[in-house]
Amino acid sequence: MTILGEYVLPRDQPIWTSTLVEALRVLDIEEKSARQALARSSAEGWVVSERVGRRVRWSLTPPGRRLLTEGAERIYAFGNDERSWDGHWLMLIVSVPEAKRDLRHRLRTRLTWAGFGSPVAGVWVSPDLTRQREAQQIVQDLGLDAQAMSFTAAYGDVGDQETMVARSWDLSELKDRYEDFIDRFTGLHPSGERGVLRAQTELVHEWRSFPFLDPRLPLKLLPDGWSGVRAADLFHRKHVEWRPEAQAQWDELADISG
């Protein structure tokens, strides 16, 4: 999906199986696995095949194009879209009986993916007030809207925000992942026939998970020297630096395979 989004989506033209297989080989993925990945993408409706003589080429389907376009917007904007924060919180109160463990898990999973944190059982908070519509959709989908309540307010005088943030989000694992990303790509200077193509693809592939892992808390609520800021700067700088050569190497690969 990273290759499709980074190289196939911008060109809006079919791509040969041999090109995709060779591109994945550059990433140390064997031909059998590459063809299985293509088959899965086709089964899920993201790409469609067309036989031309004895060869096969692939095109993005309308749903596949929408998925990749939305993903690209989220990936490339992430880290560049720092918003101001007025100190107000969105609080969602929704409890699920202990006996309904599957429902509790689904609620937790979806609210976590939406960037919410939970300081105590049954209470979810987010500094992003625009998440209210998404939260409403989640509780409706799960049949919990009749017992859910939401509030928007500033933090009061009892306790402190730092403690609430620490209880709501475990940022330690996210911090480690950001630092691993920084360590991996800071000193990387790709070379060789397909070196930049590989480096750019791996850069984007690693970065694409962060929009789903990071709750995007305002800087005011994050530890000093937050590694996410440095990682975002590194991603955007490297992506711009490597893009022309990576795209040229892709075009060369497509010409050879074609």
The full 3-state SS of 115-181, as one line of letters, equals CCEEEECCEEEECCHHHHHHHHHHHHHCCCHHHCEEEEEECCCCCCHHHHHHHHCCHHHHHHHHHHH
Average pLDDT over residues 35-63: 94
* pLDDT range class, residue 140, cuts 50, 70, 90: very high
Does this chain's domain 1-75 share its CATH topology with 88-154? Answer: no
CB 95 within 8 A of CB 121: yes
Architecture of domain 1-75: Orthogonal Bundle (1.10)
pLDDT digits (tens, 9 = 90+) for 160-213: 999 999 999 989 999 999 999 999 999 999 988 899 999 999 999 999 999 888
Structure tokens at 2: 């990273």
Q: Domain 88-154: which topology?
A: Alpha-Beta Plaits (3.30.70)
Query: DSSP 3-state assignment of 91?
Result: strand
Query: What are the extents of the domains in the chain?
Result: 1-75, 88-154, 170-257
CA angle 182, 196, 17 (to 5 degrees): 120
Rounded mean pLDDT of 17-42?
Answer: 95
